[in-house]
Structure 1
Amino acid sequence: MRKKINVDELELGMYLEEICGSWIDNPFWRSRFVLSDPKEIAMLRASKVSEVWIDVSKGADVWPTTAVAELGVLENDAPDDARRSMAMSSDRTPTPIADEIDRAARICAAGKEAVTSMFHEARMGNAVNASGVVTLVQEISDSVARNPSALISLARLKTADDYTYMHSVAVCAMMIALARQLNQSEDVARSAGVAGLLHDVGKMLVPSEVLNKPGKLSDSEFTIVKGHPVKGHQFLQESTGIDPIALDVCLHHHEKVDGSGYPKGLKGPEISLFAKMGAVCDVYDAITSNRPYKAGWDPSESLRQMGQWASGHFDLTVFQAFAKTLGIYPVGSLVRLNSGCIGVVIEQSKGALTMPVVKVFYRMASSQRIDPVVMDLSARGCKEKIIAREDPAKWKFADLDAMWSGLVA
């Protein structure tokens, strides 16, 4: 795919397809080649050429160097600080993901059972057990405090059949992590987690043949599904001890800041902070998860797409905080390095949103797997950097999820 960029955006590894302007301004005798020498970039920038065409299917894209800015999470405009200026907001020293992953897996399994039971009771017309919800949310909260990536990433691996139940667990975990990123108190973070766990309870009151339909919904079926926030809100109002934040998020998590959402078409200031948080967490988990009618998107690509929707769909401040929470390349993202190797993100590094810890396992030049090597791209002296996202559907690495999680299905 061709893309026109400014010469200031050029980086090593890009495939130069065409130089814009007069041929006399071209500092090279050729125009189709991979930029492999810093002198080539310097020559272009020193010339009268201001724009060039690159082919991102043959070389690096501009995404990694502008990723933070595209998602709107830069805190200053100094380009030299772009990769290192975004320290995580929490003062906690996170538990390594490898040490938390087993506990997170057990919490996910218990959470699925609890939500399945709770939603079954909802179908039967029985009220929600508020104390049981709080206990589960506390377990999830503790895991997220130790390492937010572990449980959030594992919850993304739900099967299409598990989606309805595990989606609630995933949104709960993300709401807690996002609340902390937004400097909310621990009590408020737990309330946000309760809201995440209960936000879709109204779907249990939607006919199963509509809710689980594998194909595209008809207009009348979509109207039925769009009724789930109101149904869920009414149901929760009939239960005792339900947090007001949960009631709000249940009713308003499909509102959009431009007023095009539902059920009430609220606009920016009319939507609460927690409903705005619920909207971001709900959409991210939905588009990264396998569904009956589509495969989930790569985590990093999902964030990029959401960044493009942000102005009309999401509150920008909330979305920026969400991107900081997960990292520009969330755990499980497949990435290409400047060395021509491919790896999977296995952990976020401290204070370096675009420089995570990557497990490198494939060399593109030889089209062969290599012995996995773990690299912290933020480490002093590390010359490797991410130059592109890779589509897992293209590569079909059957053990991709096992490589970052350490869990074997």
Structure 2
Amino acid sequence: MIRKISIDQLTTGMYIHDLNLAWFDHPFVRNQFMLETLEDLAQIRATGLKELYIDASRGRDVAEAPTLEEVQASTEATLLEALSKPAEPEPEPRVATLRDEALRAASIHKQADKAVRKVMQDVRLGRMVEIAEVEDVVDAIAGTIERNASAMLGILCIKNKNEYTFLHSVAVGTLMIAFAKSMGLDAETVRSAGVAGLLHDTGKMCVPDEILNKPGRLTEDEFNVMKSHPLEGWEVLRQLDDVDPIALEVTLHHHERLDGTGYPHKLKGDQISQITRMASIVDVYDAITSDRVYHKGQPAAQVLRKLWEWSPNHFDPQLVQHFIRTVGIYPVGSLVRLHSGRLAVVMEASMDTPLLPRLKAMFSLRTNSYIHPVDIDMSWEAQRGGDRIVGVESPDRYGIDISRFLLAR
């Protein structure tokens, strides 16, 4: 039985099922292991986590602690209650269909990837970084999000684990633009948010590859080197004459947490700006949904619920709620299971109705085979009492290539 316990209840002899932290916020190579030493217990407590999950069937139990199912039910109930309120501000109407915008969005994504690679390479080689190209890319991304946000957000699902650092920066920049626009922030701030997202991990180019891509557990010294990347990036960017101040701030503080357990300065609450709070949410969301050589990405819908569970200790609950509205409680590119026994790809999400996205059903669980793709508007299904979403699935389990459907014309 899986239970959620407080850090004060953790002792040696317990089997840790989930540290309940983002994988990059702790030095352990695995999230699941037997806690055998006081040294490991001290390291876990040093992360600042407040709650975690144990497997009572494999180690010591805490009988009064809530079960995983109870926690998930409570998280889902509070999230759905929060999302039941109308979205503010009202989303702007799309001016392009998903079909028309998809290929243009893919081209802009490649342009962004190229710009980020150049910045990272310049940093690694000690050359002067050119910000103008990054700003041009941000304008292009903002334009395609204006025309149809789902087209651009869908491209972010297509990832290569061997190019994580570059694609992560592109994803964070893109999501920051969409997030800021959905918040109703002014155009200049939206642009700054996008630049900040694209540049936020610049300091990782100052981390040795053997640490950055190490498949095993980091030593304490290696973990400290990894945690130096925000300050390293800030040092690089602050030497530029034309760098956006918001980009500097986000680069330095995107790993800070509301409860003061983040780094490098252990800022708390209002010491962290709104844009930086937004960036910390986006950074964790994309990191956990991405594959790495040593980490399997989790389905986006599950990660959103984790972000909600982790607030308000780590993240601003109102901003997490708004981010979920921005990407949809079932984000574009998610694979969902329908009551009818079909699997469907989420094609478009809506801030107004985050629980009722537009889908493309393309796989039958009954026959374990592909079917002719069918477009489904879940808003219409809800009105007539038709099909409904009953769960989230991993595409890998069925060998489904999501990009095949997202980019189809």
TM score, norm. by length of structure 2: 0.78
Contact preservation (8 Å) 1:202, 1:233: yes
1:241-390 alignment runs, 5 A limit? 241-349=242-350, 351-379=352-380, 380-381=383-384, 383-390=386-393
State the distance in 2 between where 1:217 and 1:2 align.
27
The 3-state SS of whatever aligns with 2:391 is: strand
Of 386, 389, 399 in structure 1, the residue corresponding to residue 401 of structure 2 is 399
The 3-state SS of whatever aligns with 1:311 is: coil
State the distance in 1 between where 2:305 and 2:91 align.
24
The alpha-carbon distance between structure 1 residues 310 and 188, as it changes in their structure 2 partners (threshold 3 A), is same
State the distance in 1 between where 2:81 and 2:133 align.
38
Contact preservation (8 Å) 1:144, 1:151: yes
Spell out, residue by residue over 1:34-64, the C-alpha distance to the aligned partner (whole angstroms, 9 max, x if none).
xxxxxxxxxxxxxxxxxxxxxx9xxxx9989
Contact preservation (8 Å) 2:154, 2:347: no
The alpha-carbon distance between structure 1 residues 67 and 149, as it changes in their structure 2 partners (threshold 3 A), is farther
**Bigger mean CA deviation after superposition, 244-253 or 86-95:** 86-95
Residue 74 of structure 1 is matched in structure 2 by 83
1:170-209 alignment runs, 5 A limit? 170-209=171-210
The amino acid that maps onto 2:393 is E
Contact preservation (8 Å) 1:303, 1:328: yes
What is the deviation of 1:223? 0.7
Contact preservation (8 Å) 1:157, 1:289: no
Spell out, residue by residue over 1:300-325, the C-alpha distance to the aligned partner (whole angstroms, 9 max, x if none).
11111221112211111211110010
What is the Cα-based RMSD across aligned positions, in Å? 2.6
What is the deviation of 1:341? 2.0
Contact preservation (8 Å) 1:168, 1:200: yes
State the distance in 1 between where 2:334 and 2:195 align.
28
Pair member with larger Rg: 1
State the distance in 2 between where 1:96 and 1:66 align.
34
Contact preservation (8 Å) 2:153, 2:175: yes
State the distance in 2 between where 1:383 and 1:2 align.
35
Contact preservation (8 Å) 1:128, 1:239: yes
What is the deviation of 1:197? 0.8
Contact preservation (8 Å) 2:362, 2:373: yes
State the distance in 2 between where 1:87 and 1:95 align.
22
The amino acid that maps onto 1:130 is I
The 3-state SS of whatever aligns with 2:82 is: coil
The alpha-carbon distance between structure 1 residues 232 and 349, as it changes in their structure 2 partners (threshold 3 A), is closer
The amino acid that maps onto 2:349 is Q
The amino acid that maps onto 1:392 is P
State the distance in 1 between where 2:225 and 2:350 align.
44
Contact preservation (8 Å) 2:89, 2:184: no
1:111-150 alignment runs, 5 A limit? 111-150=112-151
State the distance in 1 between where 2:222 and 2:289 align.
23
The amino acid that maps onto 2:405 is M
The alpha-carbon distance between structure 1 residues 405 and 214, as it changes in their structure 2 partners (threshold 3 A), is farther
State the distance in 2 between where 1:194 and 1:349 align.
25
The 3-state SS of whatever aligns with 1:342 is: strand
State the distance in 1 between where 2:243 and 2:294 align.
33
The alpha-carbon distance between structure 1 residues 99 and 63, as it changes in their structure 2 partners (threshold 3 A), is farther
Q: Which has the higher contact order (CA 8 A, sep 6+)?
A: 1
Contact preservation (8 Å) 2:168, 2:287: yes
What is the deviation of 1:182? 1.6
What is the deviation of 1:283? 0.7
Contact preservation (8 Å) 2:75, 2:305: no
1:84-103 alignment runs, 5 A limit? 85-86=86-87, 89-103=90-104
State the distance in 2 between where 1:337 and 1:243 align.
45
The alpha-carbon distance between structure 1 residues 161 and 237, as it changes in their structure 2 partners (threshold 3 A), is same
Contact preservation (8 Å) 2:112, 2:134: no
What is the deviation of 1:156? 3.2
Spell out, residue by residue over 1:172-222, the C-alpha distance to the aligned partner (whole angstroms, 9 max, x if none).
111111111221101110011011011110111111221122333222111
The amino acid that maps onto 2:388 is K
The alpha-carbon distance between structure 1 residues 401 and 62, as it changes in their structure 2 partners (threshold 3 A), is farther
- Structure 1 unaligned residues grouped into runs of 5+: 4-55, 77-84
State the distance in 2 between where 1:198 and 1:106 align.
20
What is the deviation of 1:150? 2.1
- Structure 2 unaligned residues grouped into runs of 5+: 4-68
TM score, norm. by length of structure 1: 0.78
The 3-state SS of whatever aligns with 1:175 is: helix
Aligned length: 343
What is the deviation of 1:340? 2.4
Spell out, residue by residue over 1:80-132, the C-alpha distance to the aligned partner (whole angstroms, 9 max, x if none).
xxxxx448732232522222111111111111111111111111222321222
Contact preservation (8 Å) 2:157, 2:333: no
Contact preservation (8 Å) 2:344, 2:359: yes
Contact preservation (8 Å) 2:325, 2:350: no
Identity of aligned residues (%): 39
Contact preservation (8 Å) 2:203, 2:230: yes
Matched, 1:151 2:177: no
